[in-house]
Structure 1
């Protein structure tokens, strides 16, 4: 249950890729009507009801949300006509070869008939295998918007997404820089950072452009810049552009730049 809405979790026995996972989850939950798919690492202010209305108005088999980006080479790129019908779909084109700057933003409205096009028993990509089939049928549509959108699946955009919350960049969500329940010593310097409830920041700490998550401990005199911290940063330690996991412990006095703590190579 979340916000009064019952949740149903479908856990794949093995990774089935994007389309395989959608069919597995839909069948597991008994879905037999129009449904919405959202990539779990996407944060957006998209009006999903508007996307659903667009989908139904056009009688689409599937409809995707598109957003413009400066460099589309890391994403799926769509070319649409003036009705929003997708004419071409290219997944992660080589740099400089993209047919447009409108990318697949990871929110879809899908008809249950699409599920039958997804083979079972193997990995299936919706971007590389299923969408091209629907394009060939003329049934894939897309709606482009300029709503806030960020792919928060890597540390750098995850950090930015949190800072956007305190900068009031988003239309639908915001957060205070220091949340109620965070313990921050009055002598600590906290600049353009998010300190979550349950975090502890001791005397003389210097925090800038960082996210200090619940349970994190920033010890006396530690410097934390451009970093994400879930674990502990020791007395007088200095970290920059570093990610400290929940079990991470930065020893006192050390200086780290572009580091991961603990080091995944040692796990």
Structure 2
């Protein structure tokens, strides 16, 4: 049986996601207690796999540790390749091929994209079309942030238009999930001085060669570039899986006085106090403790956090192992990093950003305050 190599590109800095990405790489951000890279693995591990290469750089040790624990049954297939400098999204392909000789057909996946792309269907489509490359495409409402693909009647990609300002007859954009043949590797410089980008340096050359096809994905897909994008992705998954108060989404015993408005997700070993109101659009990850008379709406609470009695959180992200004291109030749009301590009765104004491991002892009244 034919088997495939997979490259997961997981070396990015994720600067726009700060302060969340100060203490973790983007592929390890959780969605319903499951890291983004695990969503990717669930798709690709349905394939007959040869090797799984993970290209790492920023906080690569955390990615390695997570993968070797969560995916220990694939340990013999996992190969970590460390970029000694930023190589772009094409450079690691050349580096890996030079060291390990990639299979004749291989997949490349962005490690920071949340999707439910069916890798089996993608491979079957690629084999059927028999092209040199297949690029997964997905539809978006606003094309101005992306490269937009134009297809002919056979499904062949004939053009990419980078970040058009208006509609160009297509709303199909690059979804960051590729199938390549070895012909693609020949187009990538082995020791480039600068970063090599697939969209800029490789795909235009492939289009001139012809036989590049677009596989259209109609399911879940999110480019998680900012905290706002990340929340949107979380709430989309939450709505699709937990809208009816699905018991699989509530992994906790709740006091009778707790009020919940779905969709809500409560992870394993979450505890909720009396007279607390949760929802709508709330995700509380594993091992978090929520006190009495707390109200949480439209928010994400990462694992291991403690919200004391009387806390109010609206439209915000609270990082792992964060302590929020009694009667504190966190307003919309705030992002609080891991390991933060917020004193009792402290007010945090809208759109505040607090870096990890900070102590907040005084109220923050000015909207948009950044404390790193």
Q: Is the 8 A contact 2:354 2:370 kept in 1?
A: no
Question: 1:133 matched to which residue of 2?
Answer: 205
2:178 to 108, 112, 115: 108
Alpha-carbon spacing, 1:168–1:186, altered in 2? closer, same or farther (3 Å): farther
- Equivalent residue runs for 1:96-175 within 5 Å: 96=166, 98-119=168-189, 120-121=191-192, 122-169=194-241, 175=249
Number of residues of Structure 1 aligned to a counterpart in Structure 2? 263
Unpaired segments of 5 or more residues in structure 1? none
> Could you tell me how far apart the structure 1 residues matched to 2:273 and 2:297 are?
15
Alpha-carbon spacing, 1:82–1:244, altered in 2? closer, same or farther (3 Å): same
1:260 aligns with 2:353: yes
Q: Is the 8 A contact 1:18 1:125 kept in 2?
A: yes
Alpha-carbon spacing, 1:73–1:29, altered in 2? closer, same or farther (3 Å): farther
Q: Is the 8 A contact 1:232 1:244 kept in 2?
A: no
Alpha-carbon spacing, 1:79–1:243, altered in 2? closer, same or farther (3 Å): same
Secondary structure, aligned partner of 2:73? coil
Q: Is the 8 A contact 1:229 1:243 kept in 2?
A: yes
Q: Is the 8 A contact 2:295 2:310 kept in 1?
A: yes
- Equivalent residue runs for 1:199-210 within 5 Å: 199-210=288-299
- Equivalent residue runs for 1:1-267 within 5 Å: 1=68, 2=71, 4-6=73-75, 7-93=78-164, 95-96=165-166, 98-119=168-189, 120-121=191-192, 122-169=194-241, 175-176=249-250, 177-192=265-280, 193-230=282-319, 231-239=322-330, 240-252=332-344, 253-262=346-355, 267=372
Q: Is the 8 A contact 1:247 1:262 kept in 2?
A: no
Instruction: Using the TM superposition, give the Cα deviation of residue 27 of structure 1 relative to its aligned residue in structure 2, in angstroms.
Output: 4.0
TM (normalized to structure 1)? 0.90
* Residue-by-residue CA offset, 1:186-238 (whole Å, 9 max, x unaligned): 32211121111111211221111111111222222111111111123232222
Instruction: Using the TM superposition, give the Cα deviation of residue 115 of structure 1 relative to its aligned residue in structure 2, in angstroms.
Output: 1.4
Instruction: Using the TM superposition, give the Cα deviation of residue 133 of structure 1 relative to its aligned residue in structure 2, in angstroms.
Output: 0.1
Unpaired segments of 5 or more residues in structure 2? 1-67, 243-247, 251-264, 357-368
Secondary structure, aligned partner of 1:133? helix
Secondary structure, aligned partner of 2:82? coil
Q: Is the 8 A contact 1:8 1:29 kept in 2?
A: no
